[in-house]
Structure 1
Amino acid sequence: MTRAAAPPMLLELQNPESAGAQTAALRRLKNELIGHDQRKEAWIGWGIVPVLSRVLSLKRASGKHAAAGERNGAGGHSDKTSRTEEEEACIQAVIILGSLAQGGPAFISPILSSEVPSHLLAILASPDCPQALVLAILKTLNAIADRLPLQSQQQWPKDTRLADLAFSKEYIGCLPRIIGQNSSSLTTQSCIALAASLIAKLCTEERHKTALADSGVLDALAVRVASFVVAQGFVLPGAEEHVRDPGALGTLPAPAPPSAKLGPLLRAVCAIIEHSKWRAEHFLSSPGIMTVFPKQLPEFAPNDIKKAPWGSTYLSGFAVPRHVSLHPIDSILPSVPVGHAKSTSGFPPLGPQGSYGKHSHFYNSTFSFLESAASDDDENAIVPWLLYLVRQESGIVRLTAARFVTVLFRLGLAKRHRISMFSYLLIPILIRMLDKDYELPDGYDSEQDGLIPATLRLKEEAPSVLAMLVMDEDELQRAAVEGGAIKRLSQLLKETYNPVQDNTKPMWSAEKDSAEARQDVSPELQLGPPGYSPMVCHIMRYREGILKALASLAPSKDEYRKAVCDNGVVPYIIDSLKPRLGEAPDTASAAKNTAADGNPVPTLLAACGAARMLTRSVSVLRTSLIDAGVATPLFELIKHRDIDVQIAATSVICNLALDFSPMKEAIISADILPILIEHAHSSNVKLRMESLWALKHVAYNSANDLKIKIIESLGPGWIKQIISQDPTQLLNKPNVDEEMGNGSPLGMGTSNSAGERVDLLNPIDDEEDEDSKMTDSLPTSKVSLEMFLPDPARRRKLALSGDLDQRTQARQDDIAVQEQTFDLLRNIICGSGASEMIDYLFKEIGQNDLFDAIADKLRPRTVQVPGRRDSSTKSIPVPTEIIIAVTYVIIHLAAGLPRHRQLLTLHREMLRFLMGFFNHASPKVRVNCVWIVINLTYLDNESDRQTCQERAIKLKSLGVMDRLVSLEDDPDLDVRERTKTALHLMESLVPL
């Protein structure tokens, strides 16, 4: 069937007689298309997108002439009568594009395939763009951003074409200009809210977040957030006296008008600072926040302040600063019982928590503030302000404030004494949002995309916030469990598998062109895939958040894991491990949410996290998980095309491969080993580390032929290369210490005593010089782009911090791979047949090469500190994880045959280097050193007595007796008991 002939209106749009005629035709087309998807489809085929792109390009070209003009944020004139025909035609074209985008994800493809997005952003970035056009463009861009996940997120990596354009150097400058406007008009405030919403929807990649912080968007958002602080009357007392200090705005921001919306601003800030302490500190040190929430200065008692004869004041020699432990805003928050959270101090806070009375009277105390930034331990007053919002606001503002304060807490920017407050104030509210009957107030403005009701959007995001809040915090987990979180989340997970009643019907069309016939058609002239319905996407995100919350609630308590199983959700977690089919549905209405329909990548990742949490329990692993068939989907996910899914599935298989697991044999018999070995050679370091971890568990207590197969498949040469790397080599990178102004920007870490994998290193907080003060106060008479560009010192700090984060992560990954490789070797040479495997390793890897690699990890090393006048050197300790792994290997080598022990003592450096670790800070390292002495001096039979005495003499000559004596009173019981044994063996062989 041939396509219908193009209407006359198309010719009129392509070749208009005048600008007025073109505008009139666009208005008629707008009225014809709104609400009619079939007409939209027909006009797409007739080429309306290229026509609209041409209309926008004319406005874009005219805007270039004014590019050199000052960008004052006013956005040009906005009165309809003063708009030119060209501007009016442009507005009509933008509205039509927005109407097309609202047709669904199928209409997004032709728009993104054209030059429309770049034209829209270019017009938005032009200094003479009228406010009405700015508003229309932002609405259209938000409509496109709303529907991008419907098109791509469920199956493929997110479509970032629009984000890449919007956050490029060419166009990103328009965002702080729009957000920084001071007008209280409804149009201006709508533009600010839409710009913030666009950022929150598109900002998903690390590069985008960095660009937004560096370009001044984060500072512009901070000023807008500060305007709400002013409007609500929460400016800290005394702040007015410091508004002209370096780093401040010069004056208090104007109060936010009633038409302003706080929710989109908080959401945008969260999207940018999430997972980055550096960006969060950048926000907290921005001029807007520093103006309304200056740093507090420790107070002194009146008797400590003395007056000199010439009139000036000074502090007495006995003056002791009294740090104010609470912000004034804390006084209007409900009092909560003090929990047992970990504290840096061994003493309770002195004095009562303070009671300032009602809201109108809590400013009675006087506070003074520092001109410069205080220590990193200080908590910004935005934390109690956000908690106040959680208590007083409703809907999305409440949830976003909860998310914001949770992000700050996870990044270490909220004090740990807040844990009790979170338990009593924050967690009950989040759990309440999970109730079926939870509804938003009547007439509530959702500030959302409108694709789903605001109440559903709220319930969708609440589990994710709860998961982030309780992660790795026993007290918060206990509060959530006692509040019934597991029971409610379990029921909600089951309900996500109820079939969706989707009333959406496929769009009927009389033309059924085949796919072959449309291959030659330009992407701008045809619809894209229909994608998924908003409700199905909502349920997938809801399911993802619920799975995250369940995984975060029960990582360490077996009773919590049992509660999860008792609520009958294990089969649903297993169903969540099933991926979606490779092909998208033919129609959006065909996409359902049952177990047979499978799950998108984000849900698969969350399900792997929940499954891994359950596999930590021996009883659950041997009963519920086996009955539910957890292994089958995991064996498929390990081969998934998405590498993040492979990593997550492998992390679960690590626990399934434990020696007590009944599924260990299933892993071996299911030909999973070749996949693990292939992934161990992956260029992705995390996949390599997880695969080595799983192989380590498989090798433990396995037959020698399986161990040999693992070594041969990995490659002895590859293993030798991994274990020979210097784990401290990244510390020798030039200019890192010099740029950061810190002698040791990277810190060592400790392993989890429970044996579970956690962050492998805990970097020491950066102690760089506080150089975050702005040189001049910023003018407030007008808003300009330059006003929101961070000063050079703050931009340099942000860039260096991001670079340091990347280098630290790279170093952690390298250390993790080397640690797991040594652990694999340890499991290879333990158990029955260990001596044969030691000989096998000596043959394949090389005895000298293996010993040299081990000795190199024990070798003390120093690095010359660059940029120092004294050319000093600094000791670089080897990470504790590596030392523990290496000493375990030595322990098992020393447990071998007498000739293996003799070879250890004959090495020229290994034992000498080992002597330096008997007083290591980690008790695991100390006890391992003692175990090495025990194994080297243990007498198997009388025929070995002479060589055993020789080893004992060698150890004594190295000073091991003195080191053992120093450990007799060690604070660790295991170290003390093993030391007794080692001393007894040494004294029996080498009498004093």
Structure 2
Amino acid sequence: MTRAATAPLLLQLQSSDSVSSQVASLRTLKNELIGHDQRKETYITAGIIPALGQVLSARRPGRDTAAESNRAGLSQVSLYHNSDDSEACLQAILIVGSLAQGGPTFLAPIFASDILPTLLAILSSPDCPSSFLPPILRVLNTIADRLPLQSQDQWPRDTRLADLVFAGEHISALRRIVAQDYASSRNQACIELVAALIGKLCTEEIHKTALAESGVLDALAVKVASFVVAQGFVLPGAEDHLQEPGALGEFPPPAPTSARLAPILRAVTVIIEQSKWRAEHFLSSPGIMTVFPKQVPGFAPSDIKRGPWGAAYLSGSAVPRSTGANPVDTLLPSVPLAHGKSSPNSANFPPLGNSGSQRRHSHSFPTPFSLAETPTPEEEESSIVPWLLCILRSEGGMVRLMAARLVTVLFRLGLAKKQRVPMFSYLLVPILLRMLEKDFELPDEHDPCDDGLITPTQRLKEETPAVLANLVMDDQDLQKHAVDGNALKRLSQLLKETYNPVPESLRPMWYAEGDVPARDPESMSADCRLGPPGYSPTLCHVMRYRESILKALAALVPFKDEYRKAVCENGVVPYIIDSLKPRPSDAPADAASMPKNLAADGNPTPTILAACGAARMLTRSVSVLRTSLIDAGVAQPLFVLIKHHDLEIQIAATAAICNLALDFSPMKEAIISADIIPILCEHARSSNTKLRIESLWALKHVVYNTANDIKMKVIEALTPLWIRQIISQDQVSALARRGMEDETDQSSGIAMGRANSFGEQVDILNPMEDSGEPAEDFKMNDSMPSSKMSLDMFLPDARRRRQLVWNGTLEQSTQSRQDDIAVQEQTFDLLRNIICGPGAAEMIDYLLKEIGQDELLDALANNLRPRTIQLPHRREPSSRSLHVPSEILSSVSALIIHIAAGLPRHRQLLVTHSDLLHSLTNYFNHSNRDVRINCVWVVINLVYEEDSSDRDGCRERASQLKALGITDRLASLEDDSDLDVKERTKTAVHLLNSLV
């Protein structure tokens, strides 16, 4: 194909005087381009994209096309229903899809044109012909498949297409398509293509929220219900609840046997992931509630009485009868009950550490705050959980994996019973491990949503380790079953295999002599300029597979040292270190310079983040840290990554460095000598809260038992002014004020009284009942004839939508406030470690001088001071007391302990302060044992007599403590449930009695 032959075809298309000739030109172009990338490249540079844009824009809804087409008076509706116009538009759509099939190099000119907005406008038009829907959706899916190939270094992901598809004016079209019945093969294809598009593009919170609020999630729920109906899993008696509020009014029609469940489950999963509120919105949707209504405990007929006025009431001895096991559960096999001390549900073995400042998630990759830590009561579990387990046992392939992914997400969000752990161990874990077997292959089946870039088996295998990682995270029972199933050895082998050289399938374009297309960027417009060739699909698959494997390895080893040693014995530590190396440059300039998957080629950002998580988990082991990780050189790549331009990589690398800075770590000196401390101090003052927390955590470890000159340099780098600002912030009152602002902003009367992020009940707003009357802005027609479902049913009703929006806002606000509390907590811990060890007295004096004696002590006292807040919306003026977070109480009291361990004059400063010890007396009976024992230690250090010269001072301080009522406070702790608190109390009482 030569450039000389190209011009007449394009000229013929651009100069067509009739629609029929235009159609003929488009058909010829389509036949010329399909399967010929060299011709596509030539036509792109010759200007085919602007020509196609003109063809599509002439039929774009809302445009006056009469003048352009020389057919005056022709309406938009007639354009769509005219056979030639429809055919011209359809042929142009097919050509765009063919160009996109060529790979990432052709995406740049498509994005530079207005073709995608035009296609979405046609798709969203109410009178869009149904024949247009499949080809437009296939074009969008083709582009979504090839976007990741453009640059594997992009993080966050390229959202250009998602921003267009999930825009407000187009998202209703997605809902309309998903909401239609499986009445024809075309409808079925469109539904599955939309679901596949959501599964590929929906990665941002803003898009997930938009899909939930617009009704797309509810429409997907009805499709799930259609499969439940088709498979015969509808709960017995569900027909009696069809007319209840929140139900559809009738069962959805059963899904045909040819319909595919996997894309529907994937779309639901990506929307609800990492948000308990969106998950609850899905479980309460009309489709799910119709087939899986809540089982309400009933009463015996003898317990129901009738009053003389005719109203029914319950007798005083009425007790609700148990509904028994979920009917779907009876279809599942029985499994052994969990036993042994490894259960994370045991109070003696909490999954996230003991308490206090050492409490930290073992998540090895970024996990938003929305993951629930408190399980929902058993009776609230939806029947969709056992149904998904049944799908796991009866189906195969991608359906099985997507069912596993969805049930895992529900479990992680606290929406599945903790008693499911044994069933997950014996049913789900073996299935996931089987998918990782070398000989596992999926049967060859036609998948209309398949991208054609990698095989279905490769797609399944690259996603399976991430599902396993999410399942076993923070659960020692599940980790044990996975390790017993040989997961560590299998994953280690797979990680090694991801470093096998990738045979490159891409080759440079061949051209006859003198036939190379002109590519002068100065002379070509953006829609005629080819983009970079990008990466091969195989290489991108390997990178995603490596990322997924690293996540699984990290999720399996956070608690057991023997598991970490097993990882090292399998010889994968060097591969983990290699995975920490970033790519030396962005996308290659041509196919000849394509990376061959060697260690020197580096890794994209997502893989580096997963590798940082794996390194962080391995550094928890002292023996591993002193042997395998030192030998592999884990420190140097992390020291490079902490300076990386990507913020997420900086955060992940800093989190891994935290463990390298521990006092027992042989790499602590390397951190100091590599001049990492100034970088950590700079990051501690970053505007990004996550980076601040991790940097302060690392600095806290670095300064412990370090020379005083290094501690002083840390204070100088952070600056006393910054430290003073952080420790002086009143987080409790700020939380309360933010809560009242959130309440004022909400149109509903939902109370802000709930457990806060640190596990204490802080009822900072007055409880208010929902009036039951939706606000004016949310009113809509909710009534539906029971005999027919319409599109309006898939738009969430006013109450559910309002609840979803409010919960999402609260979640963000709570996360932000929790992060602020964590920054202050780590700052206090940093100051505590600065005044630990040799030379502590010198550092106490230094802190009092630099930060200010009064400023430091006042900050400590203010953080201990009880607070109240005026409650709004009350007829009578009233106030409510607020609780100080236990994290802050523990950190502040620990700092006071170490000041009291200094010289006698330091102890005298504490007792002479007007409010400090008086405020501390409020917490001797605190529910947190760390707070209680810290209070006792303060007393011990204040009255401990180091030598005879301080005896008079000790007596004076003991008298002052007795005057504050400390003796009575200690008496209440003599029978404390915690043995350590009880023993330390005996010591404190003995010291006081000997002095007073």
Q: CA deviation at 1:452?
A: 0.6
Aligned to 1:337: 336
When residues 10 and 849 of structure 1 are mapped into structure 2, their CA distance, relative to the original with a 3 A threshold, is same
Corresponding letter in the other structure for 2:54: R
When residues 797 and 963 of structure 1 are mapped into structure 2, their CA distance, relative to the original with a 3 A threshold, is same
Alignment partners' CA distance in 1, 2:971 and 2:553: 49
Alignment partners' CA distance in 2, 1:940 and 1:20: 103
Alignment partners' CA distance in 2, 1:934 and 1:513: 85
Q: CA deviation at 1:520?
A: 4.0
Aligned to 1:675: 679
Q: CA deviation at 1:764?
A: 13
Q: CA deviation at 1:16?
A: 1.1
The answer to whether residue 967 in structure 2 is matched with residue 968 in structure 1 is: no
Q: Deviations over 1:536-595 (max 9, x none)?
A: 111111111100001000101111111111111111111110111223223357232221
Aligned to 1:451: 453
Alignment partners' CA distance in 2, 1:764 and 1:521: 62
The answer to whether residue 846 in structure 2 is matched with residue 840 in structure 1 is: yes
Is this contact kept in 1: 2:27–2:91, CA < 8 A?
A: yes
The answer to whether residue 885 in structure 2 is matched with residue 876 in structure 1 is: no
Aligned to 1:522: 525
When residues 592 and 295 of structure 1 are mapped into structure 2, their CA distance, relative to the original with a 3 A threshold, is same
Is this contact kept in 1: 2:3–2:515, CA < 8 A?
A: no
The answer to whether residue 393 in structure 2 is matched with residue 394 in structure 1 is: no
Q: CA deviation at 1:513?
A: 7.9
Q: CA deviation at 1:677?
A: 1.1
Match of 1:922 among 921, 925, 928: 928
Q: CA deviation at 1:288?
A: 1.0
Secondary structure (helix, strand or coil) at the match of 2:390 reads helix
Aligned to 1:363: none
Secondary structure (helix, strand or coil) at the match of 1:745 reads strand
Unmatched 5+ stretches in structure 2? 67-75, 349-375, 775-779
Q: Deviations over 1:76-127 (max 9, x none)?
A: 999x9x7621111111111111110010011111101110110010000001
Alignment partners' CA distance in 2, 1:725 and 1:65: 62
When residues 514 and 54 of structure 1 are mapped into structure 2, their CA distance, relative to the original with a 3 A threshold, is closer
Secondary structure (helix, strand or coil) at the match of 1:875 reads strand
Is this contact kept in 2: 1:245–1:777, CA < 8 A?
A: no
Taking the TM superposition and a 5 Å limit, the aligned residue runs for 1:243-322 are 243-301=242-300, 304=303, 315-322=314-321
Aligned to 1:814: 820
Aligned to 1:70: none
The answer to whether residue 430 in structure 2 is matched with residue 428 in structure 1 is: yes
Aligned to 2:482: 480
Aligned to 1:744: 753
Greater mean deviation of Cα atoms: 765-774 or 819-828 = 765-774
Is this contact kept in 2: 1:748–1:761, CA < 8 A?
A: no
The answer to whether residue 557 in structure 2 is matched with residue 548 in structure 1 is: no
When residues 563 and 512 of structure 1 are mapped into structure 2, their CA distance, relative to the original with a 3 A threshold, is farther
The answer to whether residue 226 in structure 2 is matched with residue 227 in structure 1 is: yes
The answer to whether residue 574 in structure 2 is matched with residue 568 in structure 1 is: no
Taking the TM superposition and a 5 Å limit, the aligned residue runs for 1:468-867 are 468-509=470-511, 517-588=520-591, 590-728=594-732, 729-733=734-738, 734-737=740-743, 739=746, 741-749=750-758, 776-779=782-785, 785-867=791-873
Corresponding letter in the other structure for 2:23: T
Q: Deviations over 1:656-705 (max 9, x none)?
A: 00010000000000011111111111110110111111111111001111
Q: CA deviation at 1:870?
A: 3.9
Match of 2:898 among 867, 892, 896: 892
Alignment partners' CA distance in 2, 1:196 and 1:635: 42
Corresponding letter in the other structure for 1:10: L
TM-score (norm 1): 0.91
Is this contact kept in 2: 1:225–1:265, CA < 8 A?
A: yes
Alignment partners' CA distance in 2, 1:131 and 1:599: 43
Q: CA deviation at 1:907?
A: 0.2
Secondary structure (helix, strand or coil) at the match of 1:874 reads strand
Aligned to 2:386: 384
Corresponding letter in the other structure for 1:224: K
Alignment partners' CA distance in 2, 1:938 and 1:489: 55
Aligned to 1:368: none
Q: CA deviation at 1:503?
A: 2.6
Greater mean deviation of Cα atoms: 884-893 or 777-786 = 777-786
Taking the TM superposition and a 5 Å limit, the aligned residue runs for 1:403-442 are 403-442=405-444
Secondary structure (helix, strand or coil) at the match of 2:986 reads helix
When residues 779 and 499 of structure 1 are mapped into structure 2, their CA distance, relative to the original with a 3 A threshold, is farther
Corresponding letter in the other structure for 1:935: N
Is this contact kept in 2: 1:746–1:764, CA < 8 A?
A: no
Q: CA deviation at 1:225?
A: 1.0
Corresponding letter in the other structure for 2:42: A
Aligned to 1:956: 962
Corresponding letter in the other structure for 1:583: D
Q: CA deviation at 1:762?
A: 12
Is this contact kept in 2: 1:745–1:766, CA < 8 A?
A: no
Corresponding letter in the other structure for 2:676: I
Taking the TM superposition and a 5 Å limit, the aligned residue runs for 1:21-420 are 21-61=21-61, 84-301=83-300, 304=303, 315-340=314-339, 378-420=380-422
Alignment partners' CA distance in 1, 2:173 and 2:378: 33
When residues 578 and 100 of structure 1 are mapped into structure 2, their CA distance, relative to the original with a 3 A threshold, is same
Q: Deviations over 1:948-990 (max 9, x none)?
A: 1111000000000111111111111110111111011100100
Alignment partners' CA distance in 1, 2:417 and 2:765: 15
Q: Deviations over 1:587-638 (max 9, x none)?
A: 3572322211111100001000000000000000000000000001001110
When residues 678 and 325 of structure 1 are mapped into structure 2, their CA distance, relative to the original with a 3 A threshold, is farther
When residues 103 and 809 of structure 1 are mapped into structure 2, their CA distance, relative to the original with a 3 A threshold, is same
Q: CA deviation at 1:65?
A: 11
Unmatched 5+ stretches in structure 1? 67-75, 347-373, 751-759
Corresponding letter in the other structure for 2:721: G
When residues 285 and 605 of structure 1 are mapped into structure 2, their CA distance, relative to the original with a 3 A threshold, is same
Is this contact kept in 1: 2:754–2:762, CA < 8 A?
A: no
Alignment partners' CA distance in 1, 2:96 and 2:338: 55
Aligned to 2:364: none
When residues 152 and 778 of structure 1 are mapped into structure 2, their CA distance, relative to the original with a 3 A threshold, is farther
Secondary structure (helix, strand or coil) at the match of 2:508 reads coil
Is this contact kept in 1: 2:219–2:794, CA < 8 A?
A: yes
The answer to whether residue 465 in structure 2 is matched with residue 463 in structure 1 is: yes
Secondary structure (helix, strand or coil) at the match of 1:7 reads helix
Q: CA deviation at 1:504?
A: 2.5
Q: CA deviation at 1:132?
A: 1.4
Q: CA deviation at 1:743?
A: 4.6
Is this contact kept in 1: 2:151–2:586, CA < 8 A?
A: no
Alignment partners' CA distance in 1, 2:195 and 2:588: 33
Alignment partners' CA distance in 2, 1:455 and 1:787: 37
Q: CA deviation at 1:404?
A: 0.3
When residues 619 and 876 of structure 1 are mapped into structure 2, their CA distance, relative to the original with a 3 A threshold, is same
Alignment partners' CA distance in 2, 1:593 and 1:331: 49
When residues 377 and 553 of structure 1 are mapped into structure 2, their CA distance, relative to the original with a 3 A threshold, is same
Secondary structure (helix, strand or coil) at the match of 2:58 reads helix
When residues 309 and 938 of structure 1 are mapped into structure 2, their CA distance, relative to the original with a 3 A threshold, is closer
Q: Deviations over 1:490-533 (max 9, x none)?
A: 11001000111233322234579899932442121011011111
Corresponding letter in the other structure for 1:732: R
Alignment partners' CA distance in 2, 1:555 and 1:325: 37
Alignment partners' CA distance in 2, 1:896 and 1:288: 66
Greater mean deviation of Cα atoms: 934-943 or 295-304 = 295-304
Alignment partners' CA distance in 2, 1:765 and 1:465: 39
Corresponding letter in the other structure for 1:731: A
Q: CA deviation at 1:777?
A: 4.2
